[in-house]
Amino acid sequence: MKYKLLGLLLLVTATSAGAAEQSKEIDGKAFGDDWPLTFTSAKVSCVNRLYVFVYNTKTDERYPVNGTAKNAVKAGKLEGSDINEVWKTSPDDVNKKINIGPVLDEGFALCDR
């Protein structure tokens, strides 16, 4: 009986944790030259209606996009790699990055659901 209760508790916990993240596939090719990342196959997600991440769907590596997610990763509260590793530099100015706003907007739309 103990093992059945433990199994049920683990199942409920796993289900609850999965429900806290909303995600959506996005295609970098649709953005053309305005695509801000070095990979084109991506998934954007919102965790706990607060943290926006983008995933490289080929490697499943996760990168924080908004400031709240970046801070949570720096603090060790959530896992993710540095977005600067995959954020493209502007072809017009090597001191600037391509606008990541469209990816961020997709993530915030998921947070508002």
pLDDT tens digit string along 2-25?
A: 544 444 444 444 434 444 999 999
For the ranges 13-22, 35-44, 66-75, which has the lowest average pLDDT?
A: 13-22
Q: Has residue 29 got a pLDDT over 80?
A: yes
Looking at the chain, list the stretches that DSSP marks H as alpha helix, in order from N- to C-terminal side: 2-19, 67-74, 101-111
| Residue spans per domain, the chain | 21-111
The strand order across the sheet containing 51-56 reads: 21-27, 41-47, 51-56, 61-64
pLDDT of residue 110: 97
Q: How confident is the model at residue 113 (pLDDT cuts 50, 70, 90)?
A: confident
Look at residues 113, 111, 112 and name the one whose alpha carbon lies nearest to residue 51: 111
pLDDT value at position 8? 40
